[in-house]
Amino acid sequence: MRSTTEHGTAVAGAEIHDHPVGPGDQRDELADVDLEGPSSDHVSHEAAVYTPSVLPPIGPYERLPATVEPWDPRAIEVARAVAELVHERRPDLAVEHIGSTAVPGLPGKGIVDLSIATTPEDVPAVAAMLRELGFGPQPGPDPWPPGRPMLVGSLVRAGRTFRIHCHVLPEQEELKRDIAFRDALLADPSLVEGYAALKSGIVMSGPLEPHQYTYRKQAWISDVHRKLGVERRPITPPATIGILGGGQLGRMIGMAARAMGYRVVVLDPDPNCPASAIADRMVVSTYDDVGAALRLASWSDVVTYELEHVATDVVDAIDVVRPVRPGRLPLHVTQDRIAERRFLESAGVEVADWREVRTTEDLRQAADEIGLPLRLKVSTGGYDGRGQLRLNELSDVDGAIERLGRRPGEALLVETDLAFAAEVSIVVARSAVGRIATFPLACNRHDEGILVESLAPASLDPEIPERAIAIGERLAVMMGITGTLTVELFLMPDQRLIANELAPRVHNSGHWTIEGAATSQFEQHVRAICGLDLGSSDALTPTATVNLLGTGPAREARLDSLGLARAMVDRTVHLHLYDKRQVFERRKMGHVTATGPSTEEALARARAAVDLLHWRDDDVPDPRDFGS
> Would you say residue 186 lies in a domain?
yes
Instruction: State the average pLDDT over residues 586-594.
Output: 97
pTM: 0.87
Torsion angles phi and psi, residue 340, rounded to 5: -65, -40
Co-location of 388 and 465 in the same domain:
no
What CATH number corresponds to the domain at position 274? 3.40.50.20
Q: What is the pLDDT of residues 547-586, one digit of tens each?
A: 999 999 999 999 999 999 999 999 999 999 999 999 999 9
Domain that residue 523 falls in: 422-612
Co-location of 120 and 171 in the same domain:
yes
Phi-psi region of 307 (alpha: psi -120 to 50; beta: other; left: phi over 0): beta
> Would you say residue 622 lies in a domain?
no
Co-location of 38 and 165 in the same domain:
yes
| 182, containing H or E segment | helix 173-187
Co-location of 391 and 453 in the same domain:
no
Co-location of 181 and 60 in the same domain:
yes
Q: What is the pLDDT of residues 82-91, one digit of tens each?
A: 999 999 999 9
Co-location of 567 and 462 in the same domain:
yes
Co-location of 384 and 431 in the same domain:
no
Residues in the chain: 628
> Would you say residue 124 lies in a domain?
yes
Of the candidate ranges 91-100, 142-151, 178-187, the one whose mean pLDDT is the lowest: 142-151
> Would you say residue 151 lies in a domain?
yes
Q: Assign 65 a pLDDT band (cuts: 50, 70, 90).
A: confident
Co-location of 317 and 432 in the same domain:
no
Q: What is the pLDDT of residues 464-517, one digit of tens each?
A: 999 999 999 999 988 889 999 999 999 999 999 999 999 999 999 999 999 999
Co-location of 103 and 36 in the same domain:
yes
DSSP bridge pairs for 583: 555
Dihedral angle computed from the Cα positions of residues 529, 530, 535 and 540, in that order, rounded to the nearest 10 degrees: -60
Q: What is the pLDDT at residue 26? A: 34
What CATH number corresponds to the domain at position 151? 3.30.460.10
What CATH number corresponds to the domain at position 586? 3.30.470.20
Number of domains, the chain: 4
> Among residues 192, 208, 228, which one ends one of the domains?
228
Q: What is the pLDDT at residue 30? A: 34
Co-location of 429 and 566 in the same domain:
yes
> Would you say residue 295 lies in a domain?
yes
Co-location of 371 and 489 in the same domain:
no
Q: Assign 118 a pLDDT band (cuts: 50, 70, 90).
A: very high
> Would you say residue 619 lies in a domain?
no
> Among residues 228, 258, 279, which one ends one of the domains?
228
Co-location of 477 and 608 in the same domain:
yes
Using CA atoms, how far residue 224 sits from 108, 232, 400, 581, in Å, is: 18, 11, 57, 50
Q: What is the pLDDT of residues 219-275, one digit of tens each?
A: 899 999 999 999 999 999 999 999 999 999 999 999 999 999 999 999 999 999 999
What CATH number corresponds to the domain at position 410? 3.30.1490.20
CA 277 to chain centre: 26
509 close to 452: Cβ distance less than 8 angstroms: no
> Would you say residue 357 lies in a domain?
yes
